[in-house]
Amino acid sequence: MGKDPFGSVLDLTIGDKQIRGKPITILRFNSRLDFEPVHILFVSSSENSDLSKILGQLDEAPIVTVGEMEGFLDSGGMIYLYLEGNRVRFSVNRDAAKMRDIEISAKLLKLAKVQ
């Protein structure tokens, strides 16, 4: 949602990959819409001023929320992406995931900073 920081890189990376036999589809939203068909929602830093409204609109829907802005986890987001040196790292808000009945795998948690 918001300004796309990935450009064509995300589309090229995903290509025609599948998860459990289902194709991965990338949708881009410019405004708050109905996120029901979405499993993962990346909220761009361009939406910082509307972050609480966006996350609030999701209620308790089982949607994994990912963001790149400071304070994302404190606002109720689940996965915060950030740069450390020249590497992308991430932190996880387990409480936000639990509130939406989302279980984050132990393998993923081993790689993350957990809040």
Q: Tens of pLDDT along 62-79?
A: 899 999 998 999 999 999
Kindly report the pTM of this predicted structure: 0.85
- Separation of alpha carbons 30 and 9, rounded Å: 19
- The pair of structure tokens assigned to 38 is 């979405």
> Where does residue 13 fall: left (phi above 0), alpha (psi -120 to 50 degrees), or beta otherwise?
alpha
What ranges do the domains of the chain cover? 8-114
Q: Tens of pLDDT along 40-62?
A: 999 999 999 989 888 888 877 88
Per-residue CA distances from 66 to 42, 69, 71, 72 (Å):
5, 10, 12, 8
